[in-house]
Amino acid sequence: MTSLTLSAPAKINLFLDITGRRPDGYHTISGIMQAISLCDTVTLTLTPVADGEDPRYTLTCTNPELPTDGKNLAFRAAVAFFEATGTGNTHLHMHIEKRIPAAAGMAGGSTNAAAVLKGLNALMDHPLTQEALCRVGLTLGADVPFCVKGGAQITEGVGEILTPCASLPPCHLVVACAGEGVSTPAAYKKLDEMYGSFDGTVYTPRSDMLASQLEALKKGDIGRAGEYAYNIFESAVLPTHSKAGYIKRTLEDGGAVWAMMSGSGPSVFGVFADEDAARATVDSLRNQDIPAWVCEPMGI
């Protein structure tokens, strides 16, 4: 029996814009993703297959609301890895200790899939390069390649074109999430209705703002990075998710230098320079039964 335990970090979007739509209907994006220290833990255990036995892949998860069969992205990642490498003649048990809220815009499923890809690659003595892992990851979801690479990355295409960039400088992040999860496809549909399906007539992507935010990150200037922070999904989600708007205001009132929704929401993060203010804001949110955590940006 061989086991490996990996951290699977969540992500936040420091910038998220839509640049258009491909003929196949997928939206192309332009933005910055940042890995954070709020993590799930994924443990992989391999057991040899005895003569005449078929390999068994099983999964357990501490969040009873998530699927444990082939619908779980971690499970699908294992199958995709074994298909790509021909190394599936082993029993595999995956256990996910879940801390990242599901369907919250923090890539909870994608980061579990990336951890399985990286973990199996390590256990099998690295048959795939990091780029090949990203290619397999992209067949599972647009955020998986980022989760394979981590750190801070400029994200383009449907999420598969990644360029490393400066991380948020050391700071304290408060991440909070309340209410119904947001379906990412439903959020894209709402944006299509608002912005003419991104055919170039109604909406102009904010590429200058992205360049300015990258510059601010390079200089380590948290405040200026906030001046240029943008998430197009806020315009579709905040009007109907009053709790996300309330959390954003609470983070700002609690002393965040800036706050924004992550991905398609409804999770919201606040960037704090002061740790005490961050901790006090988490206490205040938790006292209102709103799940909240203090964490930090993670480099590569």
Interface residues with ligand ATP (CB under 6 A) are: 66-67, 72-74, 96, 102-110, 112, 143, 184, 263-264
- What tokens does 141 get? 């979801």
Name residue 51's amino acid: D
Among candidate residues 98, 118, 143, 248, the one labeled active-site is: 143
CB of 141 to ligand ATP, least distance (A): 6
Please say which residue, 254 or 297, places its beta carbon nearer to ligand ATP: 297
CB of 62 to ligand ATP, least distance (A): 11
Please say which residue, 67 or 196, places its beta carbon nearer to ligand ATP: 67
Give the span between the Cα atoms of 163 and 165, in whole angstroms.
6
Residue 82's Cβ-side half-sphere holds a number of Cα atoms within 13 Å equal to: 15
Among candidate residues 11, 98, 149, 248, the one labeled active-site is: 11
Per DSSP bridges, beta strands 27-47 and 152-157 are antiparallel
Please say which residue, 36 or 103, places its beta carbon nearer to ligand ATP: 103
Residue 193's Cβ-side half-sphere holds a number of Cα atoms within 13 Å equal to: 8
- What tokens does 158 get? 């449907």
CB of 157 to ligand ATP, least distance (A): 15
**Extended strands (E) in 133-232:** 152-157, 161-164, 172-176, 230-231
Rounded to 5 degrees, φ, ψ at 143 are: -90, -5
Please say which residue, 75 or 277, places its beta carbon nearer to ligand ATP: 75
CB of 108 to ligand ATP, least distance (A): 3
Asked if 102 and 267 touch (Cβ cutoff 8 Å), the reply is: no
Please say which residue, 115 or 277, places its beta carbon nearer to ligand ATP: 115
Q: Any catalytic annotation for residue 218?
A: no
CB of 281 to ligand ATP, least distance (A): 22
Give the span between the Cα atoms of 227 and 222, in whole angstroms.
9
Q: Any catalytic annotation for residue 274?
A: no
Give catalytic residue positions: 11, 143
